[in-house]
Structure 1
Amino acid sequence: MIPLKTRKLRIAYSIAIIITIFSGLASRKWSHLLPLLAAQNAGDVLWAMMVYFGFRFLLIQKGLPTAICLSLLFSFGIEFSQLFQADWINHIRNTLFGALILGKGFLIADLFRYAAGILIAAVLDIMTLSK
């Protein structure tokens, strides 16, 4: 039997993931309505936040440092994988889901956006979910 606290946390992280996904998609669709700084950065920041909440959901018993480290490794790994430009992976990247998950081209600025998103998610986690 899964303890009640664990179930509640998993529900909370699931909701955080869903909200973050919808916010990220909205930030792309309606970027023209956002201030330029938000339009340029929100999608990547929110993507990294979703990765963080995903690790918290999957590794509920692990601590905050584990989630932060794995989120950074995963996000940075995806970004560095964009340096690899084989036809087969570019074909995947040219699909909607491939582009959303794998991105299209390496940008060093994305590493900073991912770090910021993970930091924001961790702070939100400490302030609300982890209590």
Structure 2
Amino acid sequence: MLRYRSTYFFLICTTIILGLLSRHIKGIPLFIGDILWGLMVYFIVRFLFIKQSLKWVIIVALLFCYGIEFSQLYQAVWINNIRHTVLGGLVLGEKFLWGDMLSYTIGIGIGVWADTFVVKHKPPHWPGA
């Protein structure tokens, strides 16, 4: 269990670094950062709820990502002030885009792939598990 947690912690840190770098290197499309954000959310949910099923982790990660994206439709002064800070902008985003939801889904899909084939934590009901 500790081995998996430390692996997820490493993956979270690596994904954060790559995501921050993706915003500062010219030529990298913005959607790459959104994919990495979805991937990071997946790894965080997996880290926090290590004993939960893969299906549960996927649903929670998707709901969290989609919830943050839909929250961007709410444009009150107080939350926009938070969004205009560096941390607030990274966590809450600034404006709603349907394409971001696709990017988050792709990021979570990459997380599932990494979880299944790289971390070797196959869910019990998947073929070959």
Q: Which runs of 5+ in 1 are unaligned?
A: 1-5
Structure 1 or 2: more helix by fraction: 1
Q: What TM-score results when the alignment is normalised by the length of structure 2?
A: 0.91
For the residue of structure 1 that corresponds to 2:96, the secondary structure is coil
Within a 5 Å distance, the mapping from 1:86-105 to structure 2 comes to 86-105=76-95
Within a 5 Å distance, the mapping from 1:1-131 to structure 2 comes to 6-30=1-25, 32-34=26-28, 39-129=29-119, 130=121
Matched residue type, 1:22:
I
Aligned position for 2:125:
none
Mapped to 1, the partners of 2:31 and 2:10 lie a distance apart of 22
CA RMSD of aligned residues (A): 0.9
Mapped to 1, the partners of 2:19 and 2:33 lie a distance apart of 5
Q: Which runs of 5+ in 2 are unaligned?
A: 123-129
Mapped to 2, the partners of 1:79 and 1:96 lie a distance apart of 17
For the residue of structure 1 that corresponds to 2:23, the secondary structure is helix
Mapped to 1, the partners of 2:20 and 2:61 lie a distance apart of 20
Mapped to 2, the partners of 1:8 and 1:53 lie a distance apart of 14
Percent of pairs identical after alignment?
45
For the residue of structure 1 that corresponds to 2:51, the secondary structure is coil
Matched residue type, 1:75:
C
Mapped to 2, the partners of 1:93 and 1:33 lie a distance apart of 25
Q: What TM-score results when the alignment is normalised by the length of structure 1?
A: 0.90
The structural deviation recorded for 1:128 is 1.4
Matched residue type, 1:18:
C
TM superposition outliers: structure 1 runs of 4+ over 4 Å: none
